[in-house]
Chains A and B, each alone.
Chain A
Amino acid sequence: MSKQNRRSFIKTIGLGAAAATTAAYTPFAIGGSTKKVVVIGGGMGGSVAAKYIRMMDKSVEVTLIEANKDYYTCFASNEVLSGERSLDSIKFGYGGLRGHGINVVHDKVTDIDARARKVTTASGQSFAYDRCVVSPGVDFKYDLIEGYDANVANTEIPHAWKAGAQTQMLRNQLKDMKDGGTVAICPPPNPFRCPPGPYERASQIALYLKHHKPKSKIIILDPKPGFSKMGLFTGGWERHYGYKTDDSMIEWHGTPKGSDDNVLDSVDVKTKTVTTGFNEVKADVLNIIPAQKAGKIAFTAGLTNDSGWCPVHGDTFESTIHKNIHVIGDSAIQSPLPKSGYAANSEGKVAAAAIVALLNGESAPDPTYVNTCYSVIAPGDGISVAMVYAFKDGKIIKVKGSGGLTPGKFDAKLREREQYYGYSWFDNITNDTFG
């Protein structure tokens, strides 16, 4: 659409809406700034979407609603467990986003009325929108594990899969543990937030134990037959933590397809004992990362399907269930993009570009996406996974020939660089999101 056409198109639509007195909602009026976007969730997806909408079109009013005053990144939080990083170093406030003219509201969204285009909050406020971005991250299926719930996670057996207080609790428990103790990690089944995360966590905890409590062990009870970057992780564990020897600091117990060997059944909170289909392990420090589903508001607003996640159009991230609502980040069904912080960043920008175009009466532009994730197995041993994605025939696809993992063969020079590139990645993605 040419500029001339676009202007006259906007004018026509604007007049039409203004003339229709019965219309409860005006898509955009002439002159005044009535292009309103409400973003729910100030994590990696929601924050970057809010910022980029403002970067692309200053005439859009953006309200970001987030319950917490600060955000702690999930990525790099494993380095807090090992003591390589402070909890403060992964904490980000919303001052930067306010600087972009975003109205940041600290409140909890209780409902989205997709027909009236209205968001209501726990404190009783309501916000009208032309387009809404929903980026609530993940919620946990506590009910699949007998004896485990949100209260236990907050007080005794942290999942620490949303960084913050639980990350600190797990760190403290590791510090208080006696040398010779057992740390049990129970990763979730697929799909879940940050696929390499549980295994980087094992690596970082092993790094701490190696230097401070060398007689201790880590047992991973995995409900899956394999995991992300598996060869790279196990190779690193062999190099640094005696993996595959009698004296290995890390034991990984997988579950063959179709079996329930290490699928978590129950936990005895008092004795920190977990029971799986085949094993019973008593731990000194226990970390249960439950199976996951879309964030609560996605269910309340009816944005999920039977899978427990939100179906979206991959080129705009607009919900296939409710119009004018875009779901991004971990809650969306975005495969082959992973549930990662970088993917949420990419999705936030694709959604932002689509929203700005649609609000201005244009069609959504062609999307492009990237994912890049770093994990640090030990100092001097960083690894990564990367991929470029495109949109073709109505679907997000991996671009053939692109992407892949750090080469398996250990190269000290490159692995050290990957560690430091990982740190720069952290600095830049957080600045791109909150700065």
Chain B
Amino acid sequence: MRNTITKSALLATGLMLSVQSSAEPTAEALGYTCAGCHGTNGASTGNAIPSLAGLSEGYLIGAMNAYREDERSSTIMGRIAKGYTEEQIESMATFFSAQPVHANINQKYDATKARAGAKLHDKYCSSCHTEAGAEPEDDAGLLSGNSKLFMKYTLADFHDGSRDMPKRMEKKMKKMLKKDPDALGKLVNYYGSGK
């Protein structure tokens, strides 16, 4: 019974939204408006703003909804995400997931730290983040080849609790940092190397 009520309430909300938004820009048009910050077709050349190109639809929709509902801390994305309907977010996700994955390979990194980071990744992260975190099917954000500062900020947010992480990740991170307090910095250099 309860389920039915929720469902029809959702349905009603959905209908209201579609009535309110008479204009429906195409996926391409929506995706193009993001390019000024995230790069053409979501391929970022900056070292702090992440690439969106080639990420899975599930990950992109989840991220946008989390920003929209203030469930994920951000500087600007919370303000931006609130400007879009669920349909528009799905549409953008379709656009970006269809682009080739973009590795930002021109970032400076510390080679020694990157090598240590590669080992840490294999040991603690690779069971969920396969292919050095560049496999969209994982439904996770891009790791290897993503903007270095973004990786640093994201790991810091997971670590200090500003952003929730899955139980398994929490356990692994704890274990990793107990063994190596500098582990996050090493991972950032590894991912930033794009290797």
Chain A residues within 8 Å of B, Cβ to Cβ:
52, 342, 345-346, 349-350, 353, 365-370, 372, 384, 386-388, 390-392, 399, 401-404, 406, 414, 417-418, 420-421, 423-429, 431-432, 435
Chain B residues within 8 Å of A, Cβ to Cβ:
21-26, 28-30, 32-40, 44-49, 75-76, 79-80, 82-84, 88, 147, 149, 153
**Residues in chain B near residue A423, CB distance under 8 A:** 46-48
Partner of A432, one of B36, B75, B79: B36
From DSSP, what is the main secondary structure of chain B's interface residues? loop
**Residues in chain A near residue B38, CB distance under 8 A:** 428
**Residues in chain A near residue B80, CB distance under 8 A:** 370, 372, 386, 388, 402-403
Contact present for B79 and A402 (CB under 8 Å): yes
Contact present for B23 and A391 (CB under 8 Å): yes
A432 to B31 CA separation, bound complex (whole angstroms): 13
Contact present for A388 and B84 (CB under 8 Å): yes
Partner of B82, one of A346, A401, A425: A401
Contact present for A401 and B83 (CB under 8 Å): yes
Since A370-B36, A417-B149, A424-B44 are in contact, a sample of 13 more A-B pairs with Cβ atoms closer than 8 Å, ordered by chain A residue number, is A346-B33, A366-B23, A366-B29, A370-B34, A370-B80, A372-B36, A401-B83, A402-B83, A420-B47, A424-B47, A425-B37, A425-B46, A432-B39
Q: How many A-B residue pairs have CB under 8 A?
A: 130
Q: Given A390-B23, A402-B80, A403-B79, do A435 and B29 touch, yes or no (CB 8 Å)? A: no
- B3 CB to nearest chain A CB (Å): 28
Contact present for A386 and B36 (CB under 8 Å): no
Task: List 6 A-B pairs, minimum CB-CB distance, nearest first.
Answer: A388-B83, A424-B46, A402-B83, A424-B49, A368-B25, A427-B46
Contact present for A432 and B35 (CB under 8 Å): yes
Contact present for B33 and A420 (CB under 8 Å): no
Which residue of B is nearest A424, CB measured? B46
Partner of B37, one of A365, A372, A417: A372
Partner of B75, one of A366, A384, A387, A390: A384
A414 to B83 CA separation, bound complex (whole angstroms): 21
Which residue of B is nearest A383, CB measured? B75
**Residues in chain B near residue A353, CB distance under 8 A:** 26, 28-29, 32
Q: Given A370-B80, A403-B79, A417-B153, do A424 and B37 touch, yes or no (CB 8 Å)? A: yes
**Residues in chain B near residue A406, CB distance under 8 A:** 75-76
Which residue of B is nearest A403, CB measured? B79
A403 to B83 CA separation, bound complex (whole angstroms): 7
Q: Given A403-B79, A404-B79, do A345 and B147 touch, yes or no (CB 8 Å)? A: no
**Residues in chain B near residue A372, CB distance under 8 A:** 36-37, 76, 80
- B162 CB to nearest chain A CB (Å): 8
Contact present for B45 and A427 (CB under 8 Å): yes
Can you list 13 residue pairs at the A/B interface with Cβ under 8 Å?
Answer: A365-B29, A366-B23, A366-B24, A368-B25, A370-B36, A388-B82, A388-B83, A388-B84, A402-B82, A406-B76, A418-B76, A424-B47, A432-B39
Q: Given A342-B36, A368-B25, do A428 and B75 touch, yes or no (CB 8 Å)? A: no
A350 to B25 CA separation, bound complex (whole angstroms): 10
Partner of B76, one of A386, A391, A432: A386
- B81 CB to nearest chain A CB (Å): 8
Contact present for B46 and A368 (CB under 8 Å): no
**Residues in chain A near residue B22, CB distance under 8 A:** 392
Residue of A345, A421, A425 with most chain B CB atoms under a 10 A cut-off: A421
Partner of A421, one of B29, B30, B49: B49
Q: Given A368-B29, A399-B83, A402-B83, do A421 and B76 touch, yes or no (CB 8 Å)? A: yes
Contact present for A432 and B40 (CB under 8 Å): yes
- A343 CB to nearest chain B CB (Å): 10
**Residues in chain A near residue B84, CB distance under 8 A:** 388, 399, 402
Partner of B29, one of A367, A402, A432: A367
